[in-house]
Amino acid sequence: MSVGARRSDLDLRRVLALSRKESLQIIRDPSVILIAFVLPIVMLFLFAYAVSLDIKQVPIGLVMESDGAEAQSLAAAFAATRYFAVTPARDRREVVGDLLGGRLRGIVVIPQDFEQRLASHVPQPLAQVVTDGTQPNTASFVAAYARGVLTGWQASRRSPRVGTLSLEPRFWFNPEIESRRFLVPGAIAVVMTIIGTLLTALVVAREWERGTMEAIMSTPATVAEIIVGKLLPYFALGLSATFFATLVAVTVFGVPLRGSWLTLIALSSAFLFPALGQGLLISTVAKNQFIAAQVAVFSGFLPAFLLSGFLFEIDSMPAPIRAFTYVVPARYFVSSLQTVFLAGDVWALLLPNAAALVAIGLVLFALVRAKSHKTLDG
């Protein structure tokens, strides 16, 4: 930098002028509004009503090979539970086809000699459950709840002779284990990644494609001003989208917000920092919208979906992938959001997460700064 460059690096008026331009462009493009406000609502709705991980009314077949009173009593226990929707049958062959076709998730068989088995002291299974293993998640739930029904039925029949050990589980923050409570924060993180990374990468690529970048660069605006002026509106858009999605989640879908709004906004700001940086970095490499989109999806959107701990436990991933999650900003954001929504302002957790987000952001912006010049030479 030369002596003449001592002038303030960031002229607020120029930044505001650029931001105003960008905001007008955002307001005029319906696709941006669609992604910032409609997609979050659709996702919240689906997470609230469609993508429930709470298993209830799973369709199973109940094959009654025995007519005994005890068997009838067990069948009644299966029919009574809210976990299963029972299709009764006399013979396995009646329901096997439905299991194959995916219309039933499991078959419980009460065998012909059920009464004898119950009376016998030889340890042998009383009943059999067959599950559809193609969906392992549902299969293990079916097995576990079928076992629960059977154990419960057995316990109701006899008083315990010896003291039995049992677990008394309690779920903090989410006693009813409603999946929407922990899925909603994840949905917000995914939408924020789309706005911060994908949209930013696209709009910068578009300025190159349309030639407006050249005109802007010939004005006295500095590189920093161009970058900040471009990011401020998307920053604001990201925050409004979060605010809006949270408002809907709390008022319409009944998700509690135990922490403060201020913390939520502060955290979202911290997350937008690396997200926007990533978008800018992509756009300095890809000056074509198709490539920018693919790279943003691969490096931003899918990791936010699958590697952030929102759907799958990070602890259980193989070590190299676990190591990689440390540089995925969404990892820190999902964990922070779940905490603010369900637990409250736990600073001991939030502060290190925010620091990690800012650190990743700083690295990304340093890379962007190193890669942007105010000439067309590069």
Number of chain residues interacting with another protein (CB under 8 A): 138
Q: Does 35 bind another protein (CB under 8 A)?
A: yes
For residue 243, the minimal CB distance to another protein (Å) is 20
Residue of the chain from 62, 198, 248, 255 that contacts another protein (CB under 8 A): 198
Structural contact between residues 333 and 357, judged by C-beta atoms closer than 8 angstroms: yes
Question: What are all long-range contacts of 346-350, with beta carbons under 8 Å and residues at least 24 apart?
Answer: 350/263, 350/267
Segment contacting another protein by CB under 8 A, of 76-84, 101-109, 230-238, 274-282: 101-109
Phi, psi of 309 (to 5 degrees): 85, 10
Residue of the chain from 66, 131, 278, 283 that contacts another protein (CB under 8 A): 131
Residue ranges in 221-317 assigned as alpha helix (H): 223-251, 261-285, 289-296, 302-306
Residue of the chain from 76, 80, 120, 136 that contacts another protein (CB under 8 A): 136
Tell me how crowded residue 145 is: count the other CB atoms within 10 A of its CB. 20
Query: What whole-number distance in Å separates Cα of residue 110 and Cα of residue 129?
Result: 9
Q: Does 52 bind another protein (CB under 8 A)?
A: yes
Structural contact between residues 18 and 230, judged by C-beta atoms closer than 8 angstroms: yes
Instruction: Give CA separation, 367 vs 85, 100, 300, 354, in Å.
Output: 56, 54, 17, 20
Segment contacting another protein by CB under 8 A, of 120-128, 231-239, 265-273, 364-372: 120-128
For residue 376, the minimal CB distance to another protein (Å) is 5
Residue of the chain from 140, 156, 240, 260 that contacts another protein (CB under 8 A): 140
Query: What whole-number distance in Å separates Cα of residue 188 and Cα of residue 197?
Result: 14
Residue of the chain from 69, 82, 158, 220 that contacts another protein (CB under 8 A): 220
Structural contact between residues 83 and 58, judged by C-beta atoms closer than 8 angstroms: yes
Structural contact between residues 95 and 51, judged by C-beta atoms closer than 8 angstroms: no
Tell me how crowded residue 262 is: count the other CB atoms within 10 A of its CB. 9
Q: Does 99 bind another protein (CB under 8 A)?
A: yes
Token digits for 115?
A: 């009464």
Decide whether 159 or 251 has the Cβ nearer to another protein. Answer: 159
123's enclosing H/E stretch is none
For residue 13, the minimal CB distance to another protein (Å) is 6
Q: Does 245 bind another protein (CB under 8 A)?
A: no
Decide whether 154 or 240 has the Cβ nearer to another protein. Answer: 154
- Among positions 55-74, residues that touch another protein (CB under 8 A) are 55-59
- Among positions 4-33, residues that touch another protein (CB under 8 A) are 4-5, 7, 11, 13-14, 16-18, 20-21, 24-25, 28-32
- Among positions 274-293, residues that touch another protein (CB under 8 A) are 286, 289-291, 293
Structural contact between residues 84 and 110, judged by C-beta atoms closer than 8 angstroms: no
Q: Does 87 bind another protein (CB under 8 A)?
A: no
Query: What whole-number distance in Å separates Cα of residue 190 and Cα of residue 248?
Result: 16
Q: Does 154 bind another protein (CB under 8 A)?
A: yes
Token digits for 286?
A: 């890809």
Q: Does 228 bind another protein (CB under 8 A)?
A: no
- Among positions 294-313, residues that touch another protein (CB under 8 A) are 294-295, 297-298, 301-302, 306-307, 309, 311-313
48's enclosing H/E stretch is none
Q: Taking CA 115 as the corner, what is the angle to CA 112 and CA 120, rounded to the nearest 5 degrees?
A: 115
For residue 198, the minimal CB distance to another protein (Å) is 8
Query: What whole-number distance in Å separates Cα of residue 83 and Cα of residue 138?
Result: 12
Decide whether 33 or 239 has the Cβ nearer to another protein. Answer: 33
- Among positions 349-368, residues that touch another protein (CB under 8 A) are 349
Q: Does 119 bind another protein (CB under 8 A)?
A: no
